[in-house]
Amino acid sequence: MRVLVLGEERSRIKLIDEETVRHVAWLARLEVLDDEVEGFVEQFNRILDYFRKLDEAETEDVEPTFHVLNLVNVFREDEPFPPISPQEALKNAPKSERGFFKAPKMV
Amino acid sequence: MSEKVVIGLEVHCQLTSLKTKLFCSCPSNYRGREPNTLVCPTCLGLPGSLPVLNQKALEYGLMVALALNCKIPKRTMFFRKNYFYPDMAKNFQISMFDRAGGAPLGYDGYVTLAVGGTQKLVRIRRVHLEEDPGRLVYPGTIDTAPYTLVDYNRHGVALVEVVTEPDFESPKEARAFLQKLRSILEHLGVFDGGLEGAMRCDANISIAGGARVEVKNIGSFKDVERALTFEIMRQKQLLAKKVAVVRETRHWDGERRITVSLRTKEEEYDYRYFPEPDLVPVEITEEMLDQIKARLPELPDARQKRFVSQYGLPGYDAMVLTSDKALADFFEKAVAAYGKPKVVSNWLMSDVLRCLNEYNLEIWESKLTPEHLVEMLKLIDEGVISGKIAKNILWDMVSSGKSPKQIVEERGLTRIADEEYLRKLVDEVFKENPKAVEDALSDEKAIHFLVGQLMKKTRGRADPQLANKIIREKLASK
Ligand SMILES: [Zn+2]
């Protein structure tokens, strides 16, 4: 994936191209039809334009925020709690077999 | 054969001493359990569930980082590592990341390794915590299975990941490192390396002139040497044929003992890490670290030094014994009961290890106990059995777990010190070897031969001093 590089010149270049849209769709396992791609290219770039606007803000002396909660160190004890039953665990599974979740062939 | 080989390891170790998983309260002892019986909404990734960090897992992770001489960050947090594969119910793995405000639990550490008589420093790049994925089962074989079965019991079990710099120059060094890492983790009491799949590793290998190849799925430290040796041979053969080694990921097939190309798309490494919003950051205070440091037990390096100073062992013995916690514990128990550390060490280092090697067992897997070894040593001291017989019955002690006394009785192996009986046997030996008897009058070697013949007749049970005495007397009276 491309990295957003900021700067005068860069800011005028469209960062997202057709290839990137298809790649992101593949990563998210989403099907994007050929006639939809152009629309997403437009929208993705508009989102990035918005981030460029945010970049104009002066943040020199501001601590970066990586988490919205003002909490740290929330822990639990290493004490077991009864798990749910396998019947319950498999209840939402579209397919199961002998107590296993059944998934498509992967390789 | 002279091309320089460079190997780096990424090792995943389960924190098997924990009672629960990393982010939920499901029991973590999944071995031998029916599928999907140790799961809850959190480790199944059901909507609305929330992960909460197991405090003990954090402590254990920090213990590992400290034991590997790492620097510890003041603050860290967890990240989502996104990928689509059914071994992760959530479609992401909660892990740690060293950018975007994250930090591993430990970084820039080192481990010393004894290599060919010198100490080598292996640099540790990072240590972090993450979740173990679930177990995939393929009906039939991995290639022909029509679908995949998934068991999430293992999903969410706490793993500590240890990543080294590419500091190994041979498969042997890599194996020695894994052995040392295991010993360190076992001394810390956070890990039992004897459990199947508790330690797994991936390796990066490159040979001068070729690209870096990653080998995944190495299941044990016994396998690491095989997998790396195979991969180096494969790369060397390509280079010899002037075929380029391509940068790729390969899978170690432990059954066929080869590495196979995974042909994965480059894109798979696009994990799109981002901070896990459901977990809050972790602040590692000085106080927390001091408490953990104060509780750190004696580690293999310190124990090795103590074995030299306390028991007067040679450095090499101390190194071998402490490279395996179970072996070091065995040694100390035996010495506590018997004394004579050098005698105990000699037996362990030579005959016991040889025997375990032959049976492909580790000391804790074998039926040999310190009590039985001590009993055997006492039987030698008391003259009941010879050292040679002891070496012989040791095999039985290791495989059957019988006490040496029992084995000696059952097999009638006690030393023959009956002078009259031995004299009769010596007469037989003399009659059977007239030439040797004649030579023996002038040649010391022939006397040894005659003693050997007597030993053969008694299956090593004749008291050697008495046998010598009788033979020399009889020769003198000739
Ligand atoms: Zn759970």
Among residues B237, B345, B278, B261, the alpha carbon closest in space to that of B50 is found at B278
- A88 at the B interface (CB within 8 A)? no
pLDDT at position B446: 84
- A78 at the B interface (CB within 8 A)? yes
pLDDT surpasses 90 at B46: yes
pLDDT at position A21: 92
> Which residues in chain A touch residue B282, judged by CB atoms under 8 angstroms apart?
72-73
Among residues B405, B407, B53, B441, the alpha carbon closest in space to that of A72 is found at B53
Among residues B33, B11, B32, B29, the alpha carbon closest in space to that of B19 is found at B29
Residue whose structure tokens are 């030393």:
B415
Query: Quick check: B149 and A92 CB within 8 A?
Result: no
pLDDT at position B192: 93
Domain span including residue B241: 5-292
To test the contact with chain A by mutation, choose from B46, B76, B90, B149 the residue with the greatest count of A C-beta atoms within 10 A, namely B149
CB half-sphere exposure, B90, CA atoms < 13 A: 26
Query: Quick check: B25 and A84 CB within 8 A?
Result: no
For chain A, how big is the Rg over CA atoms in Å? 23
**Confidence tier at B421 by pLDDT (50, 70, 90):** confident
Report the share of chain B in percent with pLDDT over 70: 97
pLDDT at position B269: 62
Higher-pLDDT residue of B409, B177: B177
Q: Which residues pair with B250 in a beta bridge?
A: B215, B261
pLDDT surpasses 60 at A6: no
pLDDT at position B266: 47
Q: How far is B84 from chain A (nearest CA, A)?
A: 8
- Greatest CA separation found in chain B? 100
> Residues with Cβ < 8 Å from B418, sequence gap 6 or more?
none
pLDDT surpasses 70 at A10: no
Residues of chain A numbered 13-72 and touching chain B (CB < 8 Å): 23, 26-27, 29, 64, 66-69, 71-72
Last residue of a domain, one of B393, B411, B429: B411
Crossing angle of helices B171-188 and B55-67, rounded to 10°: 130
Q: Which of B55, B101, B280 sits opposite A76 (nearest CB)?
A: B55
> Which residues in chain B touch residue A90, judged by CB atoms under 8 angstroms apart?
36
Residue whose structure tokens are 């070697």:
B445
> Which residues in chain B touch residue A26, judged by CB atoms under 8 angstroms apart?
267
Residues B184 and B277 both lie in one domain: yes
- CA separation, residue B71 to residues A107, B68, B106, B148, B229 (Å): 40, 9, 5, 41, 33
Residues B85 and B207 both lie in one domain: yes
To test the contact with chain B by mutation, choose from A2, A78, A84 the residue with the greatest count of B C-beta atoms within 10 A, namely A78
**Confidence tier at B85 by pLDDT (50, 70, 90):** confident
Residues B193 and B319 both lie in one domain: no
Which of A96-100, B315-319, B472-476 is predicted least confidently? B472-476
> Which residues in chain B touch residue A87, judged by CB atoms under 8 angstroms apart?
none
Residues B452 and B395 both lie in one domain: no
Last residue of a domain, one of B389, B411, B433: B411
Q: Which of B27, B150, B267 sits opposite A103 (nearest CB)?
A: B150
Question: Mean pLDDT highest for which of B33-47, B85-99, B231-245, B454-468?
Answer: B33-47
Which of B138-152, B253-267, B463-477 is predicted least confidently? B253-267
**Confidence tier at A13 by pLDDT (50, 70, 90):** low
> Which residues in chain A touch residue B52, judged by CB atoms under 8 angstroms apart?
74-76
- A94 at the B interface (CB within 8 A)? no
pLDDT at position A1: 39
pLDDT at position A53: 87
Which of B30-34, B112-116, B137-141, B195-199 is predicted least confidently? B137-141
Q: Which residues pair with B27 in a beta bridge?
A: B20
Q: How many CB atoms lie within 10 A of CB B431?
A: 9
pLDDT tens-place string over residues A36-82: 999 999 999 999 888 888 888 888 888 877 777 788 999 999 999 99
Which of A87-96, B215-224, B349-358 is predicted least confidently? B215-224
- A3 at the B interface (CB within 8 A)? no
Higher-pLDDT residue of B370, B443: B370
The amino acid occupying position B249 is T
The amino acid occupying position B2 is S
Count: domains in chain B: 3
Residues B90 and B136 both lie in one domain: yes
> Which residues in chain B touch residue A75, judged by CB atoms under 8 angstroms apart?
52-55, 58
> How far apart are alpha carbons B325 and B180 in whole angstroms?
10
Using an 8 Å Cβ cutoff, are B175 and B115 in contact? no
Q: How far is B222 from chain A (nearest CA, A)?
A: 27
B317: left (phi over 0), alpha (psi -120 to 50) or beta: alpha
Which of B56-65, B196-205, B266-275 is predicted least confidently? B266-275
Using an 8 Å Cβ cutoff, are B201 and B12 in contact? yes
Question: H-helix or E-strand containing B457?
Answer: helix B444-457
In 3-state terms chain B splits into helix, strand, coil percentages (rounded to 5) of 40, 20, 40
> How far apart are alpha carbons A86 and A100 in whole angstroms?
9
Query: Quick check: A103 and B281 CB within 8 A?
Result: no
Last residue of a domain, one of B276, B292, B308: B292
pLDDT at position A5: 46
pLDDT at position A4: 46
The amino acid occupying position B281 is P
> How far apart are alpha carbons B455 and B462 in whole angstroms?
6
pLDDT at position B15: 98
Residues B112 and B143 both lie in one domain: yes
pLDDT tens-place string over residues B354-398: 999 888 888 988 999 999 999 999 988 887 888 888 998 899 899
Among residues B127, B121, B115, the alpha carbon closest in space to that of B176 is found at B115
The amino acid occupying position A52 is R
Instruction: Indicate the average pLDDT of chain B.
Output: 90
Query: Quick check: A83 and B26 CB within 8 A?
Result: yes
Residues B224 and B274 both lie in one domain: yes
Residues B379 and B437 both lie in one domain: no
Residues B257 and B287 both lie in one domain: yes
Q: Which residues pair with B10 in a beta bridge?
A: B163, B202
Q: Any idea where the domains of chain A sit in the sequence? A: 1-59
Residues B391 and B424 both lie in one domain: no
pLDDT tens-place string over residues B116-169: 778 899 999 999 999 999 999 888 776 777 899 999 999 999 999 999 999 999
**Confidence tier at B2 by pLDDT (50, 70, 90):** low
Q: Is the dihedral of CA B295, B297, B298, B301 positive or negative?
A: negative
Residues B184 and B283 both lie in one domain: yes
pLDDT at position B263: 62
Query: Quick check: A86 and B46 CB within 8 A?
Result: no
Chain A to chain B Cβ contacts (< 8 Å): 133
> How far apart are alpha carbons B451 and B473 in whole angstroms?
13
- Segments of B104-180 assigned E as strands: 106-115, 118-131, 135-137, 147-151, 158-164
Gap from CA of B44 to ligand 1 centroid (Å): 7
pLDDT surpasses 70 at B171: yes
**Confidence tier at A87 by pLDDT (50, 70, 90):** very high
pLDDT at position A2: 43
pLDDT at position B453: 87
- CA separation, residue B236 to residues B173, B202, B206 (Å): 19, 20, 10
> How far apart are alpha carbons B333 and B331 in whole angstroms?
6
> How far apart are alpha carbons B105 and A41 in whole angstroms?
39
Residues B274 and B308 both lie in one domain: no
- A2 at the B interface (CB within 8 A)? no
